[in-house]
Amino acid sequence: MEHTSRRRLLAAVGFGTSLTALSAGCLDTLSENETDESNEPDDSSASSMTPLERWVPASGSAELLFHYRDLTAVRRYEDDLQAAVVEDVPTVPDVEGGEIVEQLTDDKSAVESVLRFGSEGVAGNVVVVAGSFDPDAVDAESKSAAGEFEILERDGVSVAISAETVVVSPDDGADLDAILAAGVEGTNRRVDEHEHFAQLTECVGESTFLWGEYEGDADGTGVAFSLSVGSDTSTAVYADADRADEFEEMISDRFEDVTVEVDGNVVVATRTVPTEEYEYQDLFAERGSEPTRPRAGVSIDSDSSDRTVTMSYISRSEADRLEISDESGNEDEMTEVGQTITFEYETGASGELTVVAVGGETETVVAAYSYSF
């Protein structure tokens, strides 16, 4: 049986009243379900796409963090939510160039949604804000035009402004032209060119709040957590892609009213709770202050006939080496992607095998496997 480890963005999920999750861990490979392979731009479909599907270009960082909040939905259900929730949800993005959004409107209620994505910072360094804006509210110096957008360059930050959208991208973010091409022209979107990213966005669908992470190319890996707020109940969805049976058992044991669906190598757990009990928590709030964690992908294959467990080093990021050990006294390490190590066992041996990614002085457990022969 083969198990694929991953760096968990959401290492622990609570589908309870606080709907909390923690950050850390190694990513998994999404299932091989086919998606539409057509890369032809379709401008007419933009209105039916989620902001995450529409605005993220195929180019840019291989590791993609993303966070979305639908402020219109929060206001729509303001009377059903706890007062603290409405107060806790940020309206204006807290990023470089974010103060420009405040200059474009006198009323924060004009901001309808905020999407952040990229590889840096708390939840990504690019911001796409939807709402009603006055492009003339900022000074006209250094402005240029790109279709309906006016472009400003300030202190290493590029800002595109239209009456309905503001895009902020610093020097270390995705190229502004690529973002606009994806969002406006429908060309070179990541959702079109990376089939596993498309699959992940389909799993979580339209959301009031969304947190997630994706890494790699068309066959990349990812995990996401979303919440859709309604007048009476709110529905949380956690899209996982590792060890389907284990994840399903863990969720089922922990919660009585959770629905778990398994499609190939993808697991989607769903739970509905009373909206009045929901408490807002930014699942990426602590990420900016944490050191960069080493990450790695490892496949683990056990063979009961000859009592062996084989580990293969699949991928890495910020990892200098992998340290493997078990409760039977075996120890070894791998330093290069592509390496394979096999542990042999005596009849009756049992215990847990652990794989730890080491990068500098930081360590992360990227895989744990229970063996019994």
Domains of the chain: 1-290 (no CATH), 291-372 (2.60.40.10)
pLDDT recorded at residue 86 = 83
Q: Which two tokens stand for residue 345?
A: 């066992």
Stretches in the chain below the pLDDT threshold 50: 1-44, 122, 241-244, 286, 288-291
Integer Cα distance of 351 and 324 in angstroms: 13
218 exposed, middle or buried (CB, 10 Å; 0-12, 13-18, 19+)?
middle
Integer Cα distance of 51 and 68 in angstroms: 8
Return the amino acid letter for 215: E
pLDDT recorded at residue 17 = 26
Integer Cα distance of 6 and 4 in angstroms: 7
38 exposed, middle or buried (CB, 10 Å; 0-12, 13-18, 19+)?
exposed
pLDDT recorded at residue 87 = 81
Integer Cα distance of 254 and 259 in angstroms: 12
Integer Cα distance of 354 and 323 in angstroms: 8
The neighbour count for residue 170, using CB atoms within 10 Å, is 21
3-state secondary structure of 295: strand
Integer Cα distance of 367 and 174 in angstroms: 32
| Sign (positive or negative) of CA dihedral 37, 208, 234, 246 | positive
Specify whether the CB–CB gap between 119 and 61 falls below 8 A. yes
- Sheet containing 331-334: order of strands: 331-334, 321-326, 350-359, 362-372
Report CA-CA distances (Å) from 203 to 22, 46, 199, 312, 322: 20, 18, 6, 29, 32
What is the length of the chain?
373
Specify whether the CB–CB gap between 8 and 25 falls below 8 A. yes
Integer Cα distance of 86 and 78 in angstroms: 7
Using the structure block, give the residue that is written with the tokens 């009990």: 277
Integer Cα distance of 32 and 220 in angstroms: 11
In which element (H, E) is residue 239 found? strand 233-240
Residue 97's region, left for phi above 0, alpha for psi from -120 to 50, else beta, is: left
Q: Which two tokens stand for residue 95?
A: 């990023």
Using the structure block, give the residue that is written with the tokens 């923690």: 22
pLDDT recorded at residue 257 = 66
Buried b (16+ CB within 10 A) or exposed e, 259-293: ebeeeebbbbbbbbbebeebebebbbeebeeeeeb
Integer Cα distance of 167 and 32 in angstroms: 33
pLDDT recorded at residue 22 = 23
